[in-house]
Copies of this chain bind each other. A is one copy, B any other.
Amino acid sequence: MTESKESTVRLLITCPDQPGIVAAVSGYLHKKNANIIHSDQHSTDPEGGRFFMRNEFFLPGLDMDGLEELRREFREEVTNGFVMDWSLNPVWKPKKMVILCSKVDHALMELLWRWKRGDLEADISMVISNHQDLRESVEHFVPFHYVPVGPSLRDKVTAEDTMIDLMGDVDLIVLARYMQILTPDFVNRFTCRIINIHHSFLPAFVGADPYRRAHQRGVKLIGATAHYITEQLDEGPIIEQDVIRVTHSHDVDDLKRLGGDIERHVLARAVKWHLEDRVIVDGNKTIVFRR
């Protein structure tokens, strides 16, 4: 569906499942004369489970003031009686996104290239790296900031503070093969707003150097995993995964090259879905309302 983004809003809901949620929401939207474009829902269990909903609708003429009014009204008229996490997100206002990277460019360039083609609904204000290597490639698209990270924890905290200042308000931070471990403070500041690409099919080969270990183990498929970052490294909610077939004739460098293509696409899909409000976190898992 190629719909206009003007006046279009996405409603996300998470709450304990109970009868009447859909009736309340759709009744309200009908009363407002909203035109529903897409609607998805999921219940982990109709009795005692959790309920998730994504609605995309448009209201002709809706602007930011109107959206504020809609939020107020929705809170009063619909959410009453439900213990509901919800948001109403304007499609015409793309999310603010920053990309962090180190020396390897494939995942980064895929994002920038897709963004330039209009395939990612984001406002990418900058790329930050702890190395200078990718400056030239990046500046063809967006500003590049070099924030080196020293060896001590104090250095790391200083670097993260610099990054926080640089980024300002940000809705999504994407780690496109950023090879620094972030502090728990940084991670918790951006809960469910940092997406990482891990170069293995998690939970296989958690940790460092997964392609070498995949080669040693003699696996017949290698993969990549996009997930939200939590304090537990490589343990956050998985958004997307994919694999590619390999054979005995591929050495470690081949696996890195082939795996790189999977990383590019897995990360691009996960970022696209997040930007389109298709991902809802449920504990350590995700609900992904794909098409």
Contact = CB atoms under 8 A, between A and B. Distances in A.
Interface in A34-82: 34-43, 45-47, 58
**Identical copies in the complex:** 4
Interface string A218-257: 1111010000000000000111111100011111011001
Contacts of A19: 30, 33-36
Nearest to A18: B35
Contacts of A20: 30
A142 interface: no
Interface string A162-205: 00000000000000000000000000000000000000011111
Nearest to A249: B291
A29 interface: yes
B291 A247 contact: yes
Interface of A: 1-3, 19-20, 22-23, 26-27, 29-30, 33-43, 45-47, 58, 105-106, 109, 113, 117, 119, 140, 201-205, 217-221, 223, 237-243, 247-251, 253-254, 257, 261, 265, 282, 284-288, 290-291
Q: Shortest 5 CB-CB distances between A and B: which pairs?
A: A218-B285, A23-B30, A204-B204, A22-B26, A23-B26
6 contacts: A1-B45, A202-B204, A202-B217, A218-B285, A247-B291, A261-B265
